[in-house]
A and B are shown apart, each in its own frame.
Chain A
Amino acid sequence: MSFQRTQEKLKILADAAKYDVSCSSSGSKRANTNKGLGDASGMGICHSYTEDGRCVSLLKILLTNHCIFDCAYCVTRKSNDVKRAAFKVQEVVDLTINFYRRNYIEGLFLSSGIFKSADYTMERLVAVAKKLRLEENFNGYIHLKSIPGASDELMREAGLYADRLSVNIEIPTEAGLKKLAPDKKREDFIKPMIKVKNEIIQYNAEKKIIKSTPKFAPAGQSTQMIIGASGENDFQIMQTSNHFYKNYNLKRVYYSGYVPISYDNRLPQIGSAVPMLRENRLYQTDWLMRFYGFDVSEILNEQHQNLDLDVDPKLSWALRNLHEFPVDVNTADQRMLARIPGLGMKSVFKIINARRFRKLNWEHLKKIGVALNRAQYFMVCDSNQFEKRDLTSEKIKGLILQNSTSKYQKMLSNQLSLFG
């Protein structure tokens, strides 16, 4: 490996890959059983954080930024005047192994522009993964991006070596896709997703009979949507997500606030703000769907097509459904506890455990770590100091915002963590 040439390529091909937000390295069960290198059986680890605050857990690069397509939102698009580069298969292998040995990364996230054809590109992505597994005895995490339009046979092979496969849907609606990515067809995204889903199902069925079936994409598949490039509302976006979760067994959908990168009148102008708060609200909604037992239609529907920016989606739902409250924390079931604004799942489990010993009052709840400034309006406990006043939603919202101005102001001006 020539240090200087690799250095040059790495700069270009890491830079071009950075807009892909998925960086998760968890969910696989690939353990180090061969005394080889690495282990992807635990929780993924963030080994570093970029200055914009995102986790760095994988070496995320493109194999090449040559591309025959011209998607408007993409830096790699054919009409963009940038320096091009391409890694050799062995270079990617060496980088991955050497970074892994130094505990910089959990593994590799390999994507690519489309050069020549979908299959030609996919073949090379697969070759990297294959080499890592078979020649280097590598058990770390590998995420391969499926190239839209690649053949089923290559998809199957990819799934044998990768922990996760993804194909980015990028634009939430078909109309938006037509406008911004005229070379792409929606079927080209969907086809590999179906293939991967079916292979996973088949793997799970075969596993029961033949013990030694090679694992197929043990961490499943994911996709990404760009937010704020093509005018969809939150209702449309979350409907699309819900559709993917339900029909293609996706593990994760990622939402990526569009970072303006080109002068193109189909897109927001360069310099316009990245919709970070909106992106965060979508993630929160996604969490409510996946872990809090909410149906997406409870949060977004015809009457309520966009998420509030000033309050989080759970609080917003509660304010629209005051008839469900107050909830008695000493008797309520898990599902209702999880619906109290200010209560995260961790607090829910703590409450369920602690209330077996004694009835809980405000002091106990505070100690457990419940955010009472929000929760107090929606619950009763072992105390008669309860907000008995019949407050309207507007009034409650006002009180909450008033008591947490500093926090919410921070949220509006900065990126925030999920359910802080």
Chain B
Amino acid sequence: MQAKNLIYDGTFDGFLSAVFYVFEFKLKGVTIQNEFTVQQGLFSENERIITDEIKANRVWNGIKSKLSSNGSYQLYYAFLSEVVGVEDLLLDFIQYAFSQRKKVDKDYSHPSILKTAQIAKSVGREKHRMEAFVRFRLTKDDIYFASIEPDFNVLPLIEKHFKRRYADQKWVIYDIKRGYGLFYDLEKVELINMDFPENFNFTKTDDAFFATQEFEFQKLWQDYFKATNIESRKNMKLHIRHIPKRYWKYLSEKQPN
């Protein structure tokens, strides 16, 4: 029999719809792939899955009843990693969960569960880092704007945090890599796509776009950062472990003067 390759639209609901399909037709040996990263298998047949919110919800509720809340979080986190092949890993996890009577999400001796937990952990780490390393800059339109480029798709995970914290200011957090952002308008958070001017430089605080005092506060923050270091305890290795270099270009304290 030919192996099947299920293609979905890249959303979590799309993925869950694919899982529904696998269960409905009791398919064996399938793979699930995101439409943006499809790799043609030599002997496999592609099948497009249509995202169906109702089916997706049924699967999700089923998963939640078979796992602790921590387990279903891990699954969602791992999905957002966008790691190649993560869908197949999660499918295996889900199939194992449905085959057992006990809740299995803490059974780290099962390879898919351990692997999922490990990926979820990296995603969790980056979520945490984004909560730490987002740097807002005040624009001329009175909106606090931040650009990020995370390895994993963590915007959906940090929305709540920023909404709770910055309830009295308008803000945007924009994922440049994935081309979408969150916009809080003092009431609610929306997903947005933005068109940036041709010459817009994400790391530069250009006075055409940003408020005049923005430069001053960045400078004060840089000075503070310098003054608080204790030279005789300097340890750059540790420093870089805490703030990996790939994040530096968006950190105001790491900008050259």
Q: Which A residues have a C-beta under 8 Å from some C-beta of B?
A: 3, 6-7, 10-11, 14-15, 17-19, 31-32, 35-39, 42, 45-56, 59-60, 95, 98-99, 101-104, 137, 259, 274, 276, 350, 353-354, 357-358, 360, 364, 367-368, 414-415, 417
If over half of A's interface residues share one DSSP class (helix, strand or loop), that class is named, otherwise mixed; here it is: loop
A419-B200 Cα distance, complex, nearest whole Å:
45
Q: Binary interface profile of B, 208-248, with partner A (CB < 8 Å = 1, else 0)?
A: 00000000110111011101111111111111001100000
- Could you show 7 A-B contacts with beta carbons less than 8 Å apart? A18-B229, A48-B251, A99-B217, A101-B144, A104-B252, A353-B106, A367-B108
Q: Which residues of B contact A417 (CB under 8 A)?
A: 238
Contact A51 B229 (CB under 8 A): yes
A35 to B184, CA, bound (A): 13
Task: Check B108–A368 contact: CB distance below 8 A.
Answer: yes
A52 near B168: Cβ-Cβ < 8 Å: no
- Structural contact, A37 and B166, CB atoms closer than 8 A: yes
- Asked if B165 is an interface residue, CB under 8 A from chain A, the answer is yes
A6 proximity list for chain B (CB < 8 A): 220
Q: Of A42, A52, A103, which is within 8 A of B233 by CB?
A: A52
CB distance from B182 to the nearest CB of A (A): 14
Across the interface, do B238 and A414 meet the contact criterion of CB distance under 8 Å?
yes
From residue B69, how far is it (CB to closest CB) to chain A in Å? Answer: 15
Q: Which of A32, A51, A358 sits near B239, CB closer than 8 Å?
A: A51
13 additional A-B pairs beyond A54-B230, A101-B169, beta carbons within 8 Å, are A3-B219, A18-B227, A48-B243, A49-B243, A50-B230, A99-B217, A101-B136, A101-B144, A102-B144, A103-B134, A357-B106, A357-B109, A364-B109
B238 A104 Cβ-Cβ under 8 A:
no
The 10 closest A-B pairs by CB, nearest first: A53-B238, A52-B233, A14-B227, A49-B242, A353-B106, A50-B229, A15-B227, A39-B165, A102-B136, A53-B235
Known: A18-B228, A102-B221, A259-B232. A45 touches B131 (CB 8 A): yes
Tell me if B166 and A56 are in contact (CB < 8 A): no
B-side contacts of A367, CB under 8 Å: 108-109, 114
Q: Could you tell me if B225 and A56 are in contact, using CB atoms closer than 8 angstroms?
A: yes
Q: Is B133 an interface residue (CB 8 A)?
A: yes
Are B136 and A354 neighbours in the complex by a CB distance under 8 Å? Answer: no
Q: Is the CB of A37 within 8 A of B168?
A: yes
- Chain A residues contacting B102 (CB-CB under 8 Å) are 357
Q: Is B107 an interface residue when CB atoms closer than 8 A count as contact?
A: yes
Residue of A nearest to B224 (CB): A14
Chain A residues with CB under 8 Å of B54's CB are none
Which residues on the A side are within 8 Å of B243 (C-beta)?
48-49
Bound complex: CA A226 to CA B34 (Å):
56
Q: Which chain B residues numbered 91 to 124 have a C-beta less than 8 Å away from chain A?
A: 102, 104, 106-109, 114
Q: Mark B134-156, 1 if CB is under 8 A from A, else 0.
A: 11111000001010000000000
Q: Nearest chain A CB to B74's CB is how many angstroms away?
A: 13
Q: Indicate if the CB atoms of A11 and B233 lie closer than 8 Å.
A: no
Given A11-B227, A274-B233, A414-B238, A103 and B136 contact (CB-CB distance below 8 Å): yes
Complex CA gap A19/B169 in Å reads 34
Once the chains bind, are B108 and A18 in contact (CB under 8 Å)? no
| Cα of A415 to Cα of B237 in the assembled complex, Å | 10
Q: Complex formed: what's the CA distance from A350 to B113 in Å? A: 13
Decide: A354 and B223 in contact? CB cutoff 8 A.
Answer: no
Q: Are A354 and B216 in contact (CB under 8 A)?
A: no
Question: How many Å lie between the Cα of A18 and that of B227 in the bound state?
Answer: 8
